[in-house]
Every structure is written in structure tokens, then in C-alpha cells.
């Protein structure tokens, strides 16, 4: 084949050589410009070319070599630019969405209640969910066989000598605090409690409580009332009012049930408050002297108040949840509604 024809052929080969990445670029260099490459090979043939053509063919070969170098340089800078572009950090690109979970409404309300009482000096105490008779009942002035025990239907874990039960209220924790600490005592006990009830929209076999206890010299019913008013206004808003109705608990005397003004109808009457304008939120009273004495606290020197509320009930009023069962069904459609705004 004429050398001139080879040159044309190699030129075409160069134009069609694929260079999409660094290794193809290197392959191009070796193939055309390497020490055993095509262009070198053609230069070697120059010696066979007749003298009168040598000059022209030499120029064509030089041009071919320059063209190969030009292609190599151009593709190399294109590829370099591309990698630089790929590696560039674009801070304006939108981030990847990471879905966040939601806190359970009961946890949200629980922390809120704890924060409110912490601000006025209450500590948080916790205790076991499986309790003995003493801490759940006897120390709280429930005499044996007294019908008051039926107020809270109990799940017994073991009968007989070592009778144990799932605690029916967190008052049991407060007995433990009274036994172990000396007044002044100012504590709340949040926790899960159990009652043997048929599950419905309005009752469940377990729920959550926050109970409070304050014991010191000269603690009065007025202190109790003011503490509860403060609490109601912190959790439901400053327009909230409370009213106390006489009631009975074995461990407090006098005892009361506390209603808060209905935040839904502002006390005018609606179907949530059953047209009374009031919603029951907790039980309370002055600690019965028998309870103080049972924990070796001198009831002549000290007095105290106690209160207890259901977290579900407070959450129900805050979020208008009308079925207790929703709290423990783990339905994401329900739980998602409590995802904090981002
Ligand atoms: N322990 C009571 C209950 O679980 C609530 C309560 C606590 C009432 C303290 C009065 C005083 O129902």
C-alpha cells in the first residue's frame, strides 16, 4: 500500500478512536504516539520513499503526528474539566430528605407535666411496676378487706404469702419516697399503672399517671389549690379555671376531685364537657395522718398534700383524642400527627 494511503487511513482511525475516559486516552496515546506506535511506524517507512517525494511525505507525517497530539491534548482537557465538574461541591444542592419520627403524644405530655412541676421545685421519683400490698395499699390507709380496694381493680401477680400485684397507681412510689426521705418532700412520680378493666374507648387495662406529693410543716389546702391552679394554667393556658368537688380517697382527708374549665367551649357548654363547662382532670387531697405515720413521718409536725392525674386524660383534652385505645395501637397515621414541624 502506498504510504500516502496509509496516512489517510491512520487519520480516519484517529478520528474514530473512542476516548471517553482516562484509560482510553492512554490507549490512544500508546496506539498512535507511543514508541512502537503507528506514527513512529510510518516514519520508519520514510526511508523507502523515493527521494523526490521524501519532502512531501515527511511533511504529511509531521502533520499527522501533530494532529494526533492535538486530539490527545483536546480530549485530555475535556476529560479533566469533566472530573473537576463532578468533584465540585455544590452547596446549593437540596439535601436528601431523612424522615424523622414523632414522639408519642403521651411522652410529649408527660415531659410537659414534669417540666411544669420542676419549675416549682418538684423532683421526679420512680419505682417498680410490680408492687407488694404494703406500698400499693396498706401504707396508703387501705385496711385489709376494705371495699376501697375495689375502687381499683387489681391484677395480682402472685397470690398468698408473697402476694404481688401490678401497681394500680403511682402513689406506691410516694410511699417509698416517704419511707426513705425526711420532709420537706416535694416530688412527682410519673409512670405506668394497671387496672383490671375491660378495654374500651374510655377505659384501658393500663394507663399512665403523674402523682404529686408535698410534705412539710404547715402545708395547707390553700397551697394545694394554688399549686393545681398554677398547673392547670401552665398546661391549658392562662384562661383556665379550676373547681374542686368533695370526694373520697383512703389516703387523703379531705379529698377532692378537680375539674378544669372546658377549653373547647370556654365553659359555655359543648359535647366534650357534656354541656357542664367543666372537665374532670385529677384527684387530690391532704395526706391522711395515717399515711404519714405508716411511713414514720410525725403527723403532728408535718402535713402534706397529694394529687394524681392520668396522662392520657390530659393528652385527650389537649389533642382532642376521643378514644383511649389509639394511644397503644401504634397506628402510624395517628402517631404521625405528633411529628414536630420542621
Ligand atoms: N391515687 C389516686 C388514683 O390513682 C389519685 C390520687 C392521688 C388521689 C393523690 C388523691 C391524691 O386514682
342 residues of the chain, pLDDT tens digit each? 688 899 999 999 999 999 999 999 999 999 999 999 999 999 998 888 888 988 999 999 999 999 999 999 999 999 998 888 888 888 888 888 887 778 899 999 999 999 999 999 999 999 999 999 899 999 999 888 876 666 668 888 877 677 888 999 999 999 999 999 999 999 999 999 999 888 988 889 999 999 999 999 999 999 999 999 999 999 999 999 999 999 999 999 999 999 999 887 887 888 878 899 999 999 999 999 999 999 999 999 999 999 999 999 999 888 888 888 999 999 989 988 887 665
| Confidence at residue 295, expressed as pLDDT on a 0 to 100 scale | 96
Residue 245, strand partner residues = 257
Structural domains in the chain plus CATH codes: 3-84 (no CATH), 105-338 (3.30.930.10)
| Confidence at residue 152, expressed as pLDDT on a 0 to 100 scale | 66
| Confidence at residue 337, expressed as pLDDT on a 0 to 100 scale | 87
pTM: 0.71
Residue 186, strand partner residues = 214
Measured in Å, residue 233 CA sits from the centre of ligand 1 at 21
Q: Ligand 1 pocket test: pick from 151, 169, 214, 290 the residue with the most ligand atoms within 8 Å of its Cβ.
A: 169
| Confidence at residue 69, expressed as pLDDT on a 0 to 100 scale | 94
Separation of alpha carbons 333 and 287, rounded Å = 43
Measured CA to CA in angstroms, residue 226 lies from 23, 254, 261, 283, 305 at distances of 82, 16, 16, 15, 12
φ, ψ dihedrals at 307, nearest 5°:
-150, 160
For ligand 1, atom 2, the nearest C-alpha belongs to 308
Strand positions, DSSP E, the chain? 123-124, 130-132, 156-158, 164-166, 185-194, 206-216, 242-249, 252-261, 278-287, 303-310
Q: Ligand 1 pocket test: pick from 225, 231, 291, 308 the residue with the most ligand atoms within 8 Å of its Cβ.
A: 308
| Confidence at residue 157, expressed as pLDDT on a 0 to 100 scale | 86
Sign of the CA dihedral running 63, 68, 72, 78? positive
| Confidence at residue 293, expressed as pLDDT on a 0 to 100 scale | 96
Separation of alpha carbons 295 and 181, rounded Å = 10
Grid cell locating 127? 419505682
| Confidence at residue 134, expressed as pLDDT on a 0 to 100 scale | 92
Measured in Å, residue 276 CA sits from the centre of ligand 1 at 23
| Confidence at residue 129, expressed as pLDDT on a 0 to 100 scale | 96
Amino acid at each position: 500500500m502506498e504510504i500516502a494511503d496509509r496516512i489517510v487511513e491512520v487519520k480516519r482511525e484517529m478520528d474514530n478512536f473512542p476516548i471517553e475516559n482516562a484509560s482510553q486516552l492512554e490507549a490512544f496515546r500508546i496506539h498512535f504516539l507511543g514508541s512502537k506506535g503507528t506514527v513512529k511506524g510510518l516514519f520508519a517507512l520514510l526511508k523507502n520513499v523515493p527521494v523526490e517525494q521524501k519532502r512531501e511525505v515527511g511533511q504529511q507525517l509531521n502533520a499527522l503526528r501533530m494532529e494526533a497530539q492535538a486530539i490527545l491534548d483536546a480530549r485530555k482537557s475535556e476529560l479533566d474539566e469533566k472530573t473537576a465538574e463532578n468533584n465540585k461541591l455544590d452547596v446549593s444542592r437540596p439535601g436528601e430528605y431523612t424522615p424523622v419520627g414523632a414522639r408519642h403524644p403521651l411522652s410529649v405530655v408527660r415531659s410537659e407535666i414534669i417540666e411544669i412541676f420542676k419549675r416549682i421545685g418538684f423532683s421526679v421519683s420512680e419505682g417498680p411496676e410490680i408492687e407488694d400490698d404494703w406500698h400499693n395499699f396498706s401504707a396508703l390507709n387501705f385496711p385489709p378487706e376494705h371495699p376501697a380496694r375495689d375502687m381499683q381493680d387489681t391484677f395480682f401477680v402472685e397470690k398468698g404469702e408473697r402476694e404481688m400485684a401490678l401497681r394500680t397507681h403511682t402513689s406506691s412510689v410516694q410511699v417509698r419516697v416517704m419511707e426513705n426521705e425526711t420532709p420537706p418532700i416535694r416530688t412527682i412520680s410519673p409512670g405506668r399503672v394497671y387496672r383490671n378493666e375491660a378495654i374500651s374507648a374510655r377505659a384501658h387495662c393500663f394507663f399512665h399517671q403523674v402523682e404529686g406529693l408535698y410534705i412539710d410543716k404547715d402545708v395547707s389546702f390553700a397551697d394545694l389549690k394554688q399549686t393545681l391552679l398554677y398547673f392547670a394554667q401552665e398546661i391549658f393556658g392562662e384562661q383556665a379555671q379550676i373547681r374542686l368537688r368533695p370526694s373520697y380517697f383512703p389516703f387523703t382527708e379531705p379529698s377532692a376531685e378537680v375539674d378544669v374549665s372546658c377549653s373547647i367551649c370556654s365553659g359555655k357548654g359543648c359535647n366534650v364537657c357534656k354541656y357542664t363547662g367543666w372537665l374532670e382532670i385529677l384527684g387530690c387531697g391532704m395526706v391522711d395522718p395515717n399515711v404519714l405515720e405508716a411511713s414514720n413521718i410525725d403527723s403532728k409536725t408535718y402535713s402534706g398534700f397529694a394529687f394524681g392525674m392520668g396522662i392520657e386524660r390530659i393528652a385527650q383534652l389537649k389533642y382532642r383524642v376521643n378514644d383511649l385505645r389509639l394511644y397503644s395501637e401504634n397506628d402510624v397515621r395517628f402517631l404521625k400527627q405528633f411529628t414536630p414541624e420542621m
